[in-house]
Amino acid sequence: MKIRTRIFLLFATITACGFYFLVDWVQDDLRQRYLESLEEPLVDTANVLAAIVAQDIARRPFPTPTWRKLFREIYQRNLETRIYQLKKYFVDMRVYVTDNQGIVIFDSNEGRDEGKDYSRWNDVYRTLNGEYGARSSEEDPRYPNRSVIYVASPILIDGQLKGVLSVGKPTRNLDRFLKDAKHKVAIAGWIAALGMLLVVFVLYRWVSQPLQKLTDYVQAVKNGQRVTLPQLGKNEIGLMGSALEEMRVALDGKAYVEHYVQTLTHEIKSPLAAIQGAVELLQEDMASNDRQRFLANIRQESGRAQQLVERMLQLVELENRMTLQKTELIELGAVTRMAIEDVQLMAAARTISIEATITDNYEVKGDAFLMQQAISNLLNNAIAFSKTGAVVEVQVHKDDHHAVIKVLDQGAGIPKYALDKLFERFYSLQRPDTGKKSSGLGLSLVKEIAELHGGRIQVSNRSEGGVVARLSLPLS
């Protein structure tokens, strides 16, 4: 797994776990906060009612029937009250009063627990002992998660404790509020987590894309492809890419010069040796015919050396181009006809005819001069390897989204051992008419020109004999 993918997964895992535990903690804490908000008004209510009861029993015993009737009327009220999403239809508060021994003397629930001993209940027990008294008890054993919160207040008359008043409030409505709140907190938490994951993903892409571009660039350079350094931004990755590009140029330049010096030295030895031998022989007395023959040989070999140097300089210039310096729309039909005109004299000298089939004037984007040179090189090869009186065919047609130029000859074909070496620099086969080799740079030039135009060149044997060269270029 890639390091940047591991980093992204680590960030994503940390973010997801962090938000999960945060939401879980908030949801757990919500109930405590809701209970606190419920208990606080119960304290006020208990103290207010305790003060009222204290006034009632200051002069007489506690008026149980009166208070029972009062709460019966309160419970029978139809409130029809809407509290946000909650519809409330009745009062669900319970009130009971005990004496200073903890015996219930009034229960708002139709006197259900009157006469019972509540002195052990936490709200009554703590209040009788001068502390804050409160408790939470099950509302119904059948529903263990539903409880009632009770808050007690002392009934004081002239500073003496006469009893306890406790107010109870069921938590069922609170549970409904809590459920809604937890749901909203969960949704908010997941939205925040997804938002954070999106930010992490954007950061991941922001960092990983330049790294991927740089990796692809290095792989392409390793495979010998013609590529330019991609835009990596003005950051550390961009600086690293620039440094790699400078290093590549320096290493390529050193290897390039070393390779070409060695190759040129090797290739130019032959014409120089021939010239040197002819010069030595010309220093001696010889017949006029022999002298002319050696002079012609010097001219031929010096021309060969000059052609070798010129072709190599042209190839070097093309190989060092990463892209075309200027481009224009090229009409392939017109450029092909111009290339045919360039080689007509060479073809006529060997009584070779050139037949052109151009189905349409397809347009490609590129350099017209270089394209004409490429087609001329293919025609030169076809003519050089054709028999006297043969026909060389030139076809221009469309294949998918590419324009294709085919040059077909009727020669002897290419030996199997040479098929994989045709595009190597300085590799050449003997011409059938002279038995001599060329500079071996023609097809290398065609290959460089094709790649500069985003195309490709293929050379193969024809089943019926001869060779076909296929130059494919993307249509504009």
What residue spans define the domains of the chain?
A: 3-182, 226-322, 328-474
Residue 251 in this model has a pLDDT that exceeds 60: no
> What SS3 state is found at 219?
helix
Q: Quick one: 328-474 is in which CATH superfamily? A: Histidine kinase-like ATPase, C-terminal domain (3.30.565.10)
* DSSP state letter for 141: T
Residue 384's nearest CA partner among 340, 418, 350 is: 350
Residues with Cβ within 8 Å of residue 389, at least 6 apart in sequence: 350, 351, 352
CB 469 within 8 A of CB 457: yes
Residue 255 in this model has a pLDDT that exceeds 50: no
Q: DSSP of 251-268, one letter per residue?
A: HHHHHHHHHHHHHHHHHH
Encode pLDDT of 157-198 as tens digits.
Answer: 988 999 999 999 988 776 676 777 777 777 887 888 788 888
Residues with Cβ within 8 Å of residue 212, at least 6 apart in sequence: none
pTM score? 0.43
For residue 407, give both structure tokens: 């040059």
The fold adopted by the segment(s) 226-322 is: Helix Hairpins (1.10.287)
Q: What is the C-alpha to C-alpha distance for residues 383 and 371, in angstroms, rounded to an integer?
A: 19
CB 229 within 8 A of CB 255: no
The sign of the torsion formed by the CA atoms of 174, 175, 178, 184 equals negative
CB-based burial label for 189 (10 Å; 0-12, 13-18, 19+): middle
pLDDT at residue 261, rounded to an integer = 53
Same fold, 3-182 and 328-474: no
Residue 426's nearest CA partner among 267, 320, 296 is: 267
CA-based R_g, the chain, Å:
50
Encode pLDDT of 411-463 as tens digits.
Answer: 888 888 888 888 776 677 777 666 566 666 778 778 878 887 888 888 999 88
Q: What is the mean pLDDT of residues 243-262?
A: 55
Selected from 3.40.50.300, 3.30.450.20, 3.40.190.10, 1.10.240.10, the CATH number assigned to the domain covering 3-182 reads 3.30.450.20
CB 58 within 8 A of CB 164: no
* Average pLDDT in the chain: 79
